[in-house]
Structure 1
Amino acid sequence: MENSNERVPVQAGLFNWPEEPHGLIVSKCSTCGELVFPTQDYCPECCTETMETTTLTSKGKLKSFTEITAPPPGFKGTIPYTVGIVEFPEGIRIIGLTTENTVESLVPNMEVEVIINTAFADDEKEYVTYKYKPSK
C-alpha cells in the first residue's frame, strides 16, 4: 500500500530535494576552503564569516560503518539499521544512515551514492532524509 502522506525533509537545508541528482548541502569557506556539514555561517577552521553554500557530488566511498540494534531514545525508524561515514571527493567525511539493515552487504571503501528515502512516517507526513546506498 502506497503512502499518500505529504513528503517533507526531516530538516530543511541538509540535502537538495526533490531535485536530482541528490547531494548534501555544505558550507565552504571562501577564505580557507574548509567544508562543513550541516551548513553554518562561520568557519570553524579560520573563524571567518565567509561561508558559501554548495552541494557535494552524489557519490563517495564508505570508510566505516556499524549496525545499530538498540536505537537512541526517540528514534522512529526501523530496527536494526546501519550508519556509515562516507568520504566525498571534495574531501569531507559525513556520517549518515545507509539503506542496508545489516552490515553483511557493506565493505570498506565501497562506492555509495546519496539517495533520498523515508526516515519515518506518522499519520500526517512522511519524513525523508538522505541515506547512503551501495552503488551496484
Structure 2
Amino acid sequence: MEGLVKVPVKDGLFQWTSPSPMLVVSGCSACGELVFPKQDYCPECCTDTMEEKTIGSLGKLVCFTGITSPPPGFKGTVPYTVGIVEFPEGIRILGVMTEKNIDRLIPGMDIEIVMDTAFIEDEKEFLTYKFKPIQ
C-alpha cells in the first residue's frame, strides 16, 4: 500500500492524524445528548444547539455479531464483525471490529479506537475507524 494517498472514508467522522484517533460527535448544549455521527439538530430535544466534540479512544464492548455476507455497496472483505462500544462519555457507537473471530470477543472487554483501511480505490487508501480489543 506504499504510494497510496490516505483519505478518510467520510470527512468529519474522526480525527485520525493524532497518535490516539478520536471520534467526532455532537453534544447538545440544551439537554446534554451526544450523537454520532455529528449532526445539527438534537434528536432528544429537537433544538439546533449541537456543538462538535470528540470522545476518547477507549470504551467497553457491549455486544457484537459476525457478518458473513456483504451488504449492498460494501467494498470491504467478509467475514467481519461489528460491535457496539460504550464510551465513558455515555454514548454507544456501532463500528467494525478488528477481530474477525467472534469467539475471541467478550461483552465488557476493553476496546480502543484504531484507524484501519476500509478499502482501496483509484490510487487512494480509504481509512475508517475500527474497534480493537485490548488484550
Task: Indicate the TM-score class for this superposition, using the shorter chain for normalisation.
Answer: over 0.9
Give structure 2 stretches of 5+ with no counterpart.
none
* Count of aligned pairs: 135
* Distance in 2 (alpha carbons) for counterparts of 1:81 and 1:6: 25
Partner of 1:122: 121
* Distance in 1 (alpha carbons) for counterparts of 2:47 and 2:63: 31
Partner of 2:80: 81
Q: Indicate whether 1:102 and 2:101 are aligned.
A: yes
Instruction: State the SS of the aligned residue for 2:14.
Output: coil
Runs of 4+ in 1 over 3 A off after TM superposition: none
> How much has 1:20 moved relative to structure 2?
2.8
Instruction: State the SS of the aligned residue for 2:103.
Output: helix
Query: Which letter maps to 1:62?
Result: L
Partner of 1:71: 70
CA RMSD of aligned residues (A): 0.9
Higher strand share: 2
Query: Which letter maps to 2:3?
Result: S
* Distance in 1 (alpha carbons) for counterparts of 2:111 and 2:97: 9
State TM-score, norm by structure 2: 0.96
> How much has 1:123 moved relative to structure 2?
3.7
Q: Indicate whether 1:9 and 2:37 are aligned.
A: no
* Distance in 2 (alpha carbons) for counterparts of 1:4 and 1:123: 12
State TM-score, norm by structure 1: 0.96
Percent of matched pairs sharing the same residue:
61
* Distance in 1 (alpha carbons) for counterparts of 2:121 and 2:28: 38
Query: Which letter maps to 1:43?
Result: C
Give structure 1 stretches of 5+ with no counterpart.
none
Partner of 2:52: 53
* Distance in 2 (alpha carbons) for counterparts of 1:71 and 1:134: 23
Residues 29-83 of structure 1 deviation map (CA, whole Å, 9 limit, x = unaligned): 0110000100011111111111111100100000000110011012111110000
Query: Which letter maps to 2:16?
Result: W
Residues 1-31 of structure 1 deviation map (CA, whole Å, 9 limit, x = unaligned): x432101000010110112311110000011
Query: Which letter maps to 2:54?
Result: T
Partner of 1:37: 36
